[in-house]
Structure 1
Amino acid sequence: MKQLIFGFILAVQFLTRIPVPVSCPWNKNTSRWAIRSYPLVGIILGFILAVLLYFVAPYLPLGMLALFTVSVCVWLTGGLHLDGWMDVADAIGSNAPLERKWEIMKDPVVGSFGHIALLFLLAWKTIFIYSLFESDLPIYSFIFIFAFSRLGAVVLLIALPAAKKQGLAWEWRKNVNKLDGLYAAIPVIGIVWLFPDFLYLIPSYIVFIVFLGIWVKVKFKGINGDLLGTAIEGGELWGLAITWIYILFVIA
């Protein structure tokens, strides 16, 4: 139980900017429980966002509410995943050989492709959220989108080889296996069981993970921390887009 708690705290400390002033040991067991906790951390982030929206939504016009939602998402994660998104965009935009792509991703300076990718990511998120609020999206929907996005990152981490035998992805991956993916899926299965209206997200995220995994394997030959961040950010955008399509064309 202690290893589980330490692993969960490590996941919160790594994936969020929620202050948890507890020193946790890093070892095989705690790192495995940290990976297993990724979707649970997504659920917590979605819950925090839903609570904030519950209190501020009555006082803000939809445009400001959408921007507030995106801003809170960035604040809760400290922009950690956005950094990976920009690094990957710079690497892909360079059209350089693979080794050069890795060098670009390590460069702390963000290039033009990274800035452009960030702009479009945040813009599309804001537009989708605005449109979903217009359609009376339940504010707890973010819990499911955040959880599935982080579960997708876990699946990719387990399914794909590490691109390099160094870095965060290598440290996370070397202690995990398929069983950890099943553990990670338990809280996601639980919330979907409680709210079956969100079953449509399961096949949509399977499609997203499969195609993203193929793309990563072709372009980078393996996974790293920046690509995991990209998977989370891309997964959130995908969830918003699929939810918008579902509400517009299925429910309506």
Structure 2
Amino acid sequence: MPIKKNLLSNEWQAFWLAIGFLTRIPMLVRIDYSQKLMNQCSMYFPLAGLLLGTLYAGLFGLLSLAWGPPVSVLLVLCFHLFITGAFHEDGLADSVDALGGGYTVEKRLEIMKDSRIGTYGTVALVMALGLKAALLMDAQSIWLALLLTPAISRLTPLLIMGFLPYVSDRDTSKSKPVAEGFSRNRLLVSCVFTALVALVFSLWLPGLWLAALIAVITVALLWGWYLQRQLGGYTGDALGASVVLCELVLLLGL
């Protein structure tokens, strides 16, 4: 019985650690921080995404009482950038700057660690946010798209983590404790959870499961292949970029 209780407590802490890692939402439980717990928390990324999606869909419903879809969608995106600290968008900008401006692996990694944003990153960020807003407004069901894309897209970095090496040697990297020692058994749990979410909501949004499958697999394979070729593996910024890319491909499918 104590073993089961400790296991449940550990998983509960891992869930809240995932929330704290991906968002600015305060962690409401005491965390016994460890490297192992950081490794374990990544399993809950899709669930954390579903929590975010619930907030986005609920906020969109409230805003729609006063404004039309364009204004409501843009305000939800502003809330998204605030509640996540633009975590994944920052990764996209840094990744595009590095991959566009570096001619060697060492130079790309050096650029990726630079906190300043360049032309490539700025253009990528503006285009990604603009395209995301346009695709949301064009979606068959905006609130369902807001609800589901954060959960489904956060499976993609887990697949990349499961099959590529981590190449950044920066000890202060926020993603390093999560990336090192990632368990494929826990990856399988995340895959099953995400698949169930897609299948259940396909009852209201036919074709969702197929769009989700195509988006996750396509981005994981193509982005993962490109990272392997350009960097020899992945970095934390590259994982963040994969979330944004998967969201866009999924919204295109929807």
What is the TM-score normalised by the length of structure 2? 0.88
* Aligned twin of 2:248: 237
CA RMSD of aligned residues (A): 1.7
> Which secondary structure state, in structure 1, belongs to the residue aligned with residue 31 of structure 2?
coil
* Aligned twin of 2:228: 217
* Aligned twin of 1:248: none
Distance apart, 1:218 and its partner CA: 0.8
Q: Aligned partners of 2:220, 2:115: CA distance in 1, in Å?
A: 28
Q: Percent identity?
A: 24
Q: Aligned partners of 1:202, 1:142: CA distance in 2, in Å?
A: 17
2:118 to 102, 106, 111: 111
2:166 equivalent to 1:162: yes
Alpha-carbon deviations, 1:139-161, whole Å to 9, x = none? 12323211111111111111110
Distance apart, 1:20 and its partner CA: 2.1
> Equivalent residues in 2 for 1:32-47 (5 A)?
32-47=39-54
1:16 to 8, 20, 23: 23
Q: Aligned partners of 1:169, 1:80: CA distance in 2, in Å?
A: 11
> Equivalent residues in 2 for 1:67-216 (5 A)?
67-132=74-139, 135=140, 137-165=141-169, 166=171, 167-196=173-202, 197=206, 198-200=208-210, 201-216=212-227
Q: Aligned partners of 2:237, 2:137: CA distance in 1, in Å?
A: 28
* 2:72 alignment partner AA: L
* 2:94 alignment partner AA: D
Between 1:166-175 and 1:84-93, the stretch displaced more is 166-175
- Equivalences, count: 240
Q: Aligned partners of 1:66, 1:142: CA distance in 2, in Å?
A: 9
**Structure with higher helix content:** 1
Q: 1:81 to 1:138 in 2, by over 3 A?
A: closer
* 1:153 alignment partner AA: P
Contact kept, 8 Å, 1:57 with 1:65, in 2: the verdict is yes
* Aligned twin of 1:249: none
Q: Aligned partners of 1:204, 1:232: CA distance in 2, in Å?
A: 10
> Which secondary structure state, in structure 2, belongs to the residue aligned with residue 70 of structure 1?
helix
* 1:128 alignment partner AA: L
Q: Aligned partners of 1:79, 1:122: CA distance in 2, in Å?
A: 11
Flag structure 1 segments of 5+ consecutive residues without an equivalent. 244-252
Distance apart, 1:223 and its partner CA: 0.9
Distance apart, 1:8 and its partner CA: 0.7
Distance apart, 1:138 and its partner CA: 4.7
Flag structure 2 segments of 5+ consecutive residues without an equivalent. 1-7
* Aligned twin of 1:61: 68
* Aligned twin of 1:6: 13
Q: Aligned partners of 2:130, 2:245: CA distance in 1, in Å?
A: 13
Contact kept, 8 Å, 2:136 with 2:146, in 1: the verdict is no
Q: Aligned partners of 1:141, 1:123: CA distance in 2, in Å?
A: 16
Q: Aligned partners of 1:108, 1:21: CA distance in 2, in Å?
A: 30
Q: 1:110 to 1:23 in 2, by over 3 A?
A: farther
